[in-house]
Amino acid sequence: MAEIHELSAVALRDALRSGELSARQATAHFLDRIAASNPHLGAFITVTAEQALADAAAADTRHARAATKGPALPLLHAMPTAFKDLTDVAGVVTTHGSAALEHKPAPADGALAAALKGAGVVSLGKTQVPEFGLTAYSENRIAPPSRNPYALSRSSGGSSGGSAAAVAAGLLPFAPGSDGGGSIRIPAAACGLVGLKPGRGLVPAGESTGDPARLVVAGPLARSAADAALLLDALVPPENAPQASGRSPGQPHAAGPRGSYLQLAGQDPPRLRIGVSLDSPWQAVFPNTADREALDALAAGISLLEAAGHQTGEAAIRYDNRYPGAFTTAWTAGVGSARIAPQREALLTPLTRTFRRRAQQRSAAKLDEALGFLRQFERDTVAQFAAWDLVLSPALAQTPRPVGWFTGAAHGDGYWPAAERATDADEDYRKQCEFAPWSSLVNVCGLPAISIPVHWTGGAPGSGVPMGIQLVGRQGSEALLLQVAAQLGF
């Protein structure tokens, strides 16, 4: 058998269920890899080795009982994973990536941890995040930055950057992320993974400090479409499970036999009309030009899609130029209401502190106005996207950025004081919007989208750094997006 970490998540699941591997073997293997690699990778803030081994022993006991006609094993029996450090896990500190908060163990599991623990996972710890999940890079003041496994000088993205780095480096078979403006798809693209943001309402929302625009949703980070589908099956409540026969793009849930996303991901998709667009709702304020590597990834994606029999064509999408202000107002509203002691506010990063102050100075009427605009933006954009089965863009406009690039802080393995940060909050934010100009609009529209790693800057998988494409589907098209990713060989 291959090394445990070289197995796909589906193969590892099968080995654990059959008894070929014990839960303790799998857990110990991944804990050993974390111990060896995390000091230079920075993927984990907290490793809960003792609790993980205890949970693995309990899983082995459960497996022995099931073998003698005891209760059936849960879907993800003994599968190792970890939660980004915005998610409460009972008995483990939730830092939210912030030095300004008191770090106390969570009294209970959050919704995401409860759902996956109920499905049988063994949690190995908490992964690195930016402060309150606000940025497209996973750097903060409490732990070393999360780095890209393919180029340690570069970022793994954010806000699910620690989770993505851990999966890409073989420290986890897969991991849940949460996505409020690209926080699954950005690190997936940076780390060469499949990252799926489900549509609004399919799975319980991911954790955040406040989400008045209903932007945030939990979804899988994995090395393949099949592995992502397996984790999605555990995230989706039974009442939202897909029909066994699948659904056509945009078809709502209906009564009938229920299947699984893993089953559906193995089926070929129908021939699709795919609109290609470089238009971005940020371009009125932050004119963006996709780097050569991003255009190369887009060309590679188009070539793969057309070779698979799909039709592509230019999709000219018009966006209202009021979007940047409205999105920023909604995105930063939660940090304004976060409970932070006044004497600890100086411990916030400059970006968080700036946007917190602005949110607190903003009137409730101004927030309501922004939310009303975003609802209209959703209707207008969904109507334009409806001309196509899927809409294609690069996943990122630039290659994964160097660690410290967004903040202007050149630093090594440690973390850094405020005096070392040369970039102000608005410059930091501008860089992020230019780095990922096609991600946040998908959250505003509540649509599903997937990042697929179709290109490497060195010309071959594993050489250089990865670059991906983003495919946006209609409501209810999660299975279709997974099918397309699998059809393209991922």
239 alpha-carbon distance from chain centroid: 23
- 258-290 confidence digits (pLDDT tens): 689 999 999 999 999 999 999 999 999 998 789
User: Would you list the DSSP string of 70-124?
Assistant: -SPPPTTTT-EEEEETTS--BTSB--TT-SSS---BBSS--HHHHHHHHTT-EEE
Mean pLDDT of 337-363: 95
- 404-458 confidence digits (pLDDT tens): 999 987 544 444 444 444 469 999 999 999 999 999 999 999 999 999 999 999 9
Is 303 contained in some domain? Answer: yes
Which residue type, as a one-letter code, is found at position 129?
A: V
Query: What CATH number is attached to the domain comprising 312?
Result: 3.90.1300.10
The pLDDT confidence band at residue 246, using thresholds 50, 70 and 90, is: low
User: What does the alpha-carbon distance between residue 457 and residue 300 come to, in Å, rounded to a whole number?
Assistant: 12
Contact indicator for 178, 218 with CB cutoff of 8 Å:
yes
pLDDT given for residue 1 in this prediction: 64
Per the DSSP assignment, residues forming a β-bridge with 154 are 402
Hey, which residues are catalytic here?
A: 84, 159, 183
What is the DSSP code (8-state) at residue 237?
-
> Model pTM?
0.95
pLDDT given for residue 413 in this prediction: 42
Q: In the sheet that 44-47 helps form, which strands lie side by side, from edge to edge?
A: 44-47, 122-127, 80-84
Mean pLDDT of 462-469: 94
Q: Tell me how far apart the terminal alpha carbons of the chain are, to the nearest angstrom.
A: 22
User: What does the alpha-carbon distance between residue 486 and residue 480 come to, in Å, rounded to a whole number?
Assistant: 10
Is 145 contained in some domain? Answer: yes
Is 443 contained in some domain? Answer: yes
Is 161 contained in some domain? Answer: yes
- 283-316 confidence digits (pLDDT tens): 999 987 899 999 999 999 999 999 999 999 999 9
Contact indicator for 157, 130 with CB cutoff of 8 Å:
no
pLDDT given for residue 394 in this prediction: 98
Our count of domains for the chain comes to: 1
Is 211 contained in some domain? Answer: yes
Cis status of the peptide bond prior to 159, with omega within 30 of 0? yes
Mean pLDDT of 316-332: 96
User: From residue 422, how far is each of 152, 375, 417, 418, 426 by CA, in Å?
Assistant: 22, 36, 11, 9, 12
* Among the listed residues 429, 212, 217, 445, the one whose alpha carbon sits nearest the alpha carbon of residue 334: 212
- Tokens at residue 342, please? 């006044």
Is 218 contained in some domain? Answer: yes
Domain that holds residue 144: 129-487
Q: CA triplet 354, 330, 219: central angle to 5 degrees?
A: 105
Is 109 contained in some domain? Answer: no
Is 20 contained in some domain? Answer: no
Q: Is the pLDDT of residue 218 over 70?
A: yes
**Residue 313 backbone phi and psi in degrees, to 5:** -160, 160
